[in-house]
Structure formats: structure tokens, C-alpha cells
Structure 1
Amino acid sequence: MTDESNLTEGEQAITETPVVSGEDQPPAPTDDNPTPPVDDSQQPPASDDGEEAPQGAPEKYEWSLGEGVAVDEQLAGEFEPIARELNLSNDQANKLASEMLPKVQQRMSDNWQKQVDEWKQAAESDKEFGGAKFEQTMTDARKALESYGSPELTEVLDQTGLGNHPALIRVFAQMGASMKEDRTVKPEGAPAGKLDLTSAFYPNAKK
């Protein structure tokens, strides 16, 4: 037996170093025990060229909401800061936008149609020109629109629903009634024929 008191510090360190047995070492891969596969489920996805795909918000979002779906630039501009705050990638942002923006657009369209319907109901029940007078009121309003307006104006009023606004109906109906009674005031020096709306409303306005 070695007398430990006679060993040097180096010899004592060697004798104290634990020996790793074969039981503590991982088994070497064999045909019966191949190397286990590496779990890469937590690894970031790689692009086709082998490089890691960029993650998070891009420098500029490219919006594509699917075939046949138009992108509302105003809504997309309002949605982009939210996507950046959430650090969404371009694909993630487009997926969320494709779900949300059409619903927002539909909600806005529904709200506008509700407003137009309310204008129409208010006009039909107006104490001054509604009720039993409403049919004649609309006849006079159309006559004024045909005389002083234009196809473009008619199209705008129809497409936006503004033609149902009580204030516009009142103005055009009064103009039509004046025409019927031949009391339309023409501005001094105005050429014969149709008058434009500016001349009809502001006969003394300078052009």
C-alpha cells in the first residue's frame, strides 16, 4: 500500500481523479443502435438556398389578400403599424389581413348603407316636402337635376347615396318648382340655355 503522506501534490491529484467507467459513457452508434435524429422542430426555417428565412416585420409589407380581393390602401396603411407592433412577418400579416380587412370593409359598407337608408326615411317623412308631397317633390328635384346637373353628377349621387339626403332633395325640388312656375332667375348677362349649378345658386358670383 502506498503511503499517501509520501506522495507529491501531482501524484495525489492523479490518484484522486475519478475514472469514468464504460457505464457512464454514452453508447457508440452501431447498426442496432444508430445515432438518434436531431430534433430540428425548434430550429428557424431555412430558405431554399439554405439560409435562414427572415423573421419579424419586413422593411415594407407587400399586401396580397388573395385572387380577386382588392386591397384598400387606406385600411392597409392603418393596419401596418399594428402588424409592426406585433412584429408579424409579411406572410403572417397578409394572413391576418386577409381575415380581417374584408370584414372591416363590409362593416363600413353596411354602416354607410344604414346612413343612406336613414336619409331616405327622413326625406320621405319630412314635414315640408315629405308625406303626400314626396312624389311631387322628387319629380321637381329630378327636373332640376336634369336641367342644371350632368350625367356625372347623377352618377355620383346614385353611387354614393347622397341623392337621398334631405337637404339635397329640398334644394333640387325648390329649383324644379321654380322652373315649373317659370320663376327661375337668370344671372345678368348669362347666355341662353342651361345654367350650371353655381350660376343657379349664386347668380351674382364672378367667374
Structure 2
Amino acid sequence: MKVVSMMTPRRLHSILSLPHLQSFTLTIIGRVDMDDGETLTRQTSSVDELSVDGKHVISLWNLGLHTSCPRVKKLKLNYQKEENVSSEIVTIACFPFHHLTHLRVKGYWPFELVALNDPVSFCDAVKTSCPQLTKLSLTRITLKNEKAAEIIQLMKTHPHLTSIELDACDTNAGLDPLISEVNSEAKVTVTVKHSQVRYNTRLHGHPLIDSHPFSGIPLIQSRLFV
């Protein structure tokens, strides 16, 4: 693990040059800087899992991160408190990866409200930019039953999708009949872990404050597989 306040092409290049690098997590960076005048041009074909913050996708892609990891199969987009999962960002993030089979969209810390305001545009973006997708996972995104149902109904028509997972997306048992119906069709398996957004009443209805020891600290993680 390496803690930094700024990401530059030179730093990215040094990380991506590590031999046998397969999984790369780049989250909660302070900012992305191109002041060193470089962009990434080398392809690192060994990286097949990539995790980045949604708000940094454009700046990281401008550095050339996506071209350096052309064989990504699993992409995780992380979002923080009060951010919205934008269909535009999903398209930009996913479109370069022709081997992408698993997209995971995740609210980074528990109890933080991450919105997905337009399920229709989101699903259109996923279908268009992820034609080979087999698994879609949404974790800690505030959907409630209505938006969750809309996503399930829209995504079950994706030609290659076989799995939809919703975890802690503010749903409840009212969604279960649809889950059973879709699963009975035996094309897509829908797995839902119901969980409602919890509030601390002692804080007068405000969400619980995150007490994670690394909260707010820029963080880079990479895993090496030999």
C-alpha cells in the first residue's frame, strides 16, 4: 500500500511497470496532475482487474491509464458521499475495455448516500459500452425498490449478462416477487442482499459518521500475483 496526495503519469508508469501485476486499485487520490508533461503509452497486458474512483475517470483516462491496461476484465467504479453514478462516466470508463465481463459500481464507505438518478440512462450506457458483460454488481448505491426493479428489468435483456447482484442498495422484501420471477426465467440470476440506509437518531436523522481510520486519506493499492 502506498499513500500519495497526487497522481502523475510518471508514478502510474512506475506502478504499471511492476512485473506480474494483475489487479490495480487506485482510489481516494488527492488529485491527478499532468505537470510532468507525460502520458502513458505502454500497454500492461497483465492487468485484468482495475478499480478507480468515478470522479477521476476522465483525468486518469487523459493520462492514458485505459490504454495501458487494455485487457481489463473486471472494472470497479467507486463513489463517495452524495455523488451520483453518471451514465456518461460509465460509458467513458467502460468503452475502451473490449474484454470487460464484470462491472461493479460501489459506494465506498457504509452509510454514505450515493445516488443513481437515472436508471434508464445508466442501463443504456452499460449495454452500449459493455457488450460482453456477464456480471453487473451494485453495492451501497441508494436505489430503493423502484430503481432496483427498473435496473433488473432493463438489464435482463442484455445478450450476455448472466448475473445481477445488488448489495445494500436500500431495498426490501417488496422486491422479492420480481427477483423470483426473473430467476425463474433461467437467463439471468438476480442476487439481492436487502439493506436500508441506517441513520443515527442521536444525530437528528443525519447519516452515521464514517469512523474508518483511513477516511479522507489518499490511497493506492496494488496486488501482485506471481
- Larger RCO: Structure 1 or Structure 2 (Cα < 8 Å, ≥ 6 residues apart)? 2
Bigger radius of gyration among the two: 1
- Do the two structures share a fold, i.e. TM-score over 0.5? no
The TM-score with structure 1 as length reference comes to 0.20
More strand by share: 2
More helix by share: 1
The TM-score with structure 2 as length reference comes to 0.19
